[in-house]
Amino acid sequence: MLIKAATIDDGATLETDVCIIGAGAAGIALAIELGRAGIATILLEAGSVSGSARSQRLYRGAVNDPDRHLAPDRDRSRGLGGTTALWGGRCMPYDPIDFAPRPWIAASGWPIGLDTLEPFYRRAQRYVDCGAYAYDAAAAGLPGALIEGFRDGAVTTGSIERWSPPTHFGTSFRPELERSEAIRLVTGGVAVGLEPDRGGIRVARVTVRTLRGRRFGVRARRVVLAGGGLESTRLLLVTGRDRPRALGDHSGWLGRGYMTHIGGVVARIVFNPGQRIIFGYEQDPEGVYVRRRFRVSDEAQREHGLVNMYALLDRPLLDDAQHGSAILSLAYLAKRLVQKQSPGASTGAGGSALGLYWRHVRNLLTGAPEVLSVLPKFGRQRFLSGRRVPSLLLSRADNSYHLYFHAEQTPDRASAVRLSPSCDHLGVPHLSIDFLVNDDDVDRVYRSHCIIDEELRGQGVGRLAFLGADPRADIRACKATLGHHVGTARMAADPADGVVDPDCRVHGVENLYVASSAVFPTSSQAHPTLTIVALALRLADHLRGIDAGNHAASVQRDLVAG
C-alpha cells in the first residue's frame, strides 16, 4: 500500500510491528521479505516515488577534503530505491580474509564469517539480478585465462566481478510494495528523531515530518535504520542531543572508523608483443556481463601485511588526449558538456582547458571512422538492451592497458562523521565528514602494485609501469569511490568494540537495528551493495524468527492457561 505522508493527519501516531527507515536496497529487500511473511511493516521513504530536489537538499553537509570526497548530497539519492538510482551495478561478495582478524590491521575482524553470510549472498543475487553465485571464471563457464600462460600465485587472475542490469530497487519492487497487504510504503515522510523510553533500552516512537511541516509518529515493536551508511548514523547521533550520550555510542565508535574505498589509476601494464590476454567485458551463459580481475592472494596479503585490493585492465584516462582515440575523445567532450565545466578551468595536466578541448577535437576529426564503427554497436548495448554494457572499453594495438585499482581503507577512529552546528530546514543537524586516508594504506596499495609487477616480470608476460614519478602521492590523490559509506556503526560481539551486535541490533537497545554498510567493520575490496542486501536478508530472517518465537510462546501460554 502506498501512502503519501502529506495525507496523514498532523499529530497522528501509526502503529506497526516493524518500522523501516529508508527505502533503498536494504530497506526494500527487508520490507519485501517481512511483507511476504505477513509481518505488518511501515517503510518510510523521505523522498517521493521518483525523487525530490527539495528532499535531496536535506542531505547537505560539510566535508574536509572536497577534492577527494564528494559533498554528502552529491553521491546519494533520495526517493524510492535510494542510491540504487545512481548505482552502476557492480556486484561481488567479500572474501574470507575480510571477515578474519588481521594483526596488521587495527580493529579488523567481523563477529560473523563468510560461511554465515554465504546463503544470504546467494539469495541477494536474485534481488540484484546478477546471475549465478559464481565469482570464479571457470565456475562461471568462461573459457580461457585473463593472461594466457600465467600461473596464479601471489597474484590471482581467475576471479570475476558481475554486473546487475543495473537494478533500480524502486522501479523493480514498487509493484510488490504497493500490492502487499502487510506493507505500508509512506513516501515524503522524513524521520527526524528516535524517542527512547525512560530507561533508554527501547525506541518508543519514531518522529516523522513532511517537507511542509506536518508532524506524525510511528510506534513499532522493532525499528530498523536503513537510510544508508551516513543517514543511519546521523539519526543515531541525533539521539545524543538531549541525552548524556547517543544511542549506540557506548563504545565511542559511533560515527568513527569511517571508510570508503581508495580507487583510481596510477599505473599501466605493458604486455609483451603477441601476448594473448582477455580484455573488457564478457557475458556468462545467462548473458550477465562479467569482468576478470587481478587480485593479490589472501596468502600474499598475510605475508606482506597488505590491504585487500583488486585491479582491472582498463582504457586510457579520458582526459588524456594522448590516447589518440576519437571515440574516447568524444566520450570526454560529452562528459564535460554534461558537467558544464568552465572553459577556462585548469586541467591539472598543464595548459588551459581550451587547449585540451582542441586536442580532443583533433582526435575526433582525424578518427571519425572509429566513431562510426564503434558508436552504433555500443549505443545498442548501452541503451537498447535489458542488460546494458557497463562502460566503453577499447582494446589497444600496442598491447598496453591502464590498470584501475580498488582497495579497502582500514578503520581509523580519526576518520569520522559528526553532527554539524548547522541544521537542515527540518531542524536536524547536518553531517560534517572528516575523510582521512592514512599513510599505511597508501603504502599497502603501492606495494600491491609492486607485487603485480614482480609476478608479471617473473613469468615473462609483461611489466607494470607507474604513470608518475611519485606513485604514493598519486595513490593519495585518488578520489573516494562514489557512494561507498562504510563503518560508522560497526558490528562487534562485545559492546565495547562497536555499535551493533552480530544480528545488527544496537547494543543495549532491545528493538533498534541498523541495515546498512555502516555496520561493516572493514570495507574489503568489494563494492558494498551485494553485502548490504545479504545482511538485510539475514536481518529479515532474524526478525521473522523473533515473531515466530513470540507466537509459539503465546500459544504455549494460552494452552497452559486453558
Q: Are residues 490 and 510 in the same domain?
A: yes
Residues 475, 491 within the same domain: no
Are 121 and 266 within one domain? no
Residue 547: inside a domain, yes or no? yes
How far is 169 from 30, CA to CA, in rounded Å? 12
Across the range 275-303, mean pLDDT stands at 97
Mean pLDDT of 435-445: 97
Whether 229 and 518 have beta carbons less than 8 Å apart is answered as yes
For residue range 317-335, list pLDDT tens digits in order: 656 666 666 656 566 666 6
Q: Which helix (H) or strand (E) holds 96?
A: helix 96-99
**What pLDDT is recorded for position 52?**
73
Domain count, the chain: 3
Q: Please tell me the least confidently modeled range out of 22-36, 110-124, 259-273, 390-404.
A: 390-404
Cβ atoms of 398 and 323 closer than 8 Å: no
Contacts of 512 (CB under 8 A, 6+ apart): 194, 202, 203, 222, 223, 224, 225, 247, 248, 505, 506
| Residue 364, pLDDT above cutoff 70 | no
Question: 227 in a domain, yes or no?
Answer: yes
DSSP 135-165: -BTTTTT--S-SBTTPPPSSEE--BEEEE-S
Q: Does 204 lie in the same domain as 91?
A: yes
Q: How many residues in total does the chain contain?
A: 562
**Whole-number pLDDT of residue 382:** 63
Nearest to 435 by CA among 409, 472, 406, 400: 409
H or E, element range at 172: helix 169-179
| pLDDT digits 0-9 by tens, 509-528 | 999 999 999 999 999 999 99
Question: What angle do the packed helices 114-128 and 529-561 form, to 10 degrees?
Answer: 110
Predicted confidence at residue 343, as pLDDT, reads 35
Tens-digit pLDDT profile for residues 56-106: 999 999 999 999 999 999 999 999 999 999 999 999 999 999 999 999 999
306 pLDDT tier (thresholds 50, 70, 90)? very high
Same domain? 118 vs 141: no
d(CA 531, CA 491): 14
- Which tens digit of pLDDT belongs to each residue from 213-252? 899 999 999 999 999 999 999 999 999 998 889 999 999 9
Give, in order, the Cα–Cα distances in Å from 371 to each of 14, 315, 367: 58, 16, 7
Is residue 452 domain-resident? yes
Q: Does residue 102 or residue 369 have the better pLDDT?
A: 102
The answer to whether the CB of 524 falls within 8 A of the CB of 94 is yes
pLDDT at 338 over 60: no
User: How many angstroms separate the CA atoms of 164 and 292, rounded?
Assistant: 16
pLDDT band at 198 (very low <50, low <70, confident <90, very high): confident
For residue 356, is pLDDT > 90?
A: no
3-state DSSP call for residue 243? Answer: coil
254 and 291 share one domain: no
Report which of 486, 493, 502 is spatially closest to residue 117, judged by C-alpha positions: 502
514 and 446: one domain? no
In a domain, 417, yes or no: no
Residue 345 is predicted with a pLDDT of: 35
Q: What is the CATH number of the domain that holds 122?
A: 3.50.50.60
Phi first, then psi, for residue 249 (nearest 5°) are -100, 25
- Beta partners for residue 267, in sequence order: 403, 466
Is 359 in the same domain as 220?
Answer: no
The whole domain housing 372 covers 321-392
Computed on alpha carbons and rounded to an integer, the radius of gyration of the chain in Å comes to 25
Fill in the amino acid letter for 503: D
Q: pLDDT band for position 373 (50/70/90)?
A: low
The answer on 170 and 77 residing in a single domain is yes
Provide the mean pLDDT of the chain: 90
pLDDT tens per residue across span 149-175: 999 999 999 999 999 999 999 999 999
Calculate what percentage of the chain has a pLDDT beyond 90: 79
Q: 3-class SS at 276?
A: coil
Report, as an integer, the average pLDDT of 356-362: 69
Residue 200 lies in a domain: yes
Q: What percent of the chain has pLDDT over 70?
A: 86
Do 470 and 523 reside in the same domain of the chain? Answer: no
Whether residue 89 contacts residue 166, with contact meaning beta carbons closer than 8 Å, is answered with: yes
| Alpha carbons 415 and 68: distance in angstroms, whole number | 14
Assign residue 487 a region: left if phi > 0, alpha if psi is -120 to 50, beta otherwise?
left
Among residues 498, 519, 511, 425, which one has the least CA distance to residue 230?
519
Half-sphere exposure for 22 (CA within 13 Å, toward CB): 30
* Cα 411 to Cα 442: distance, rounded to the nearest angstrom: 14
Q: Which residue type does 507 have?
A: H
Confirm whether 429 is domain-assigned: no
The Cα–Cα gap between 207 and 192 comes to 6
Residue 300: which pLDDT band, with cuts at 50, 70 and 90?
Answer: very high
pLDDT at 559 exceeding the cut of 60: no
The one-letter code for the residue type at 451 is I
Q: What is the DSSP letter of 7?
A: G
Q: Please tell me the predicted confidence (pLDDT) of residue 214.
A: 93
Q: For position 391, what pLDDT does the model report? A: 84
542, 458, 533: which is closest to 27 by C-alpha?
533
Question: How confident is the model at residue 387, as a pLDDT?
Answer: 87
- pLDDT above 90: residue 259: yes
Q: Which three cell numbers stand for residue 418?
A: 559528526
- The pTM assigned to this predicted structure is 0.91
Q: Are 150 and 272 part of one and the same domain?
A: yes
In a domain, 415, yes or no: no
**Residue 24 domain-assigned?**
yes
- 445 close to 288: Cβ distance less than 8 angstroms: no
- Looking at per-residue pLDDT, the higher value among 342 and 511 belongs to 511
Higher-scoring residue by pLDDT: 352, 490:
490
Tell me the per-residue pLDDT of 12-41, one tens digit each, with 9 for 90 and over.
Answer: 999 999 999 999 999 999 999 999 999 999
Whole-angstrom Cα distance, residue 508 to residue 74? 34
Same domain membership, residue 115 and residue 83: yes
Domain boundary, last residue among 417, 450, 479:
479
CB contact at 8 A, 19 and 206: yes
Nearest to 185 by CA among 27, 12, 37, 11: 27
d(CA 382, CA 390): 7
Average pLDDT over residues 41-50: 94
Per the model's pLDDT, the better-predicted residue between 394 and 179 turns out to be 179
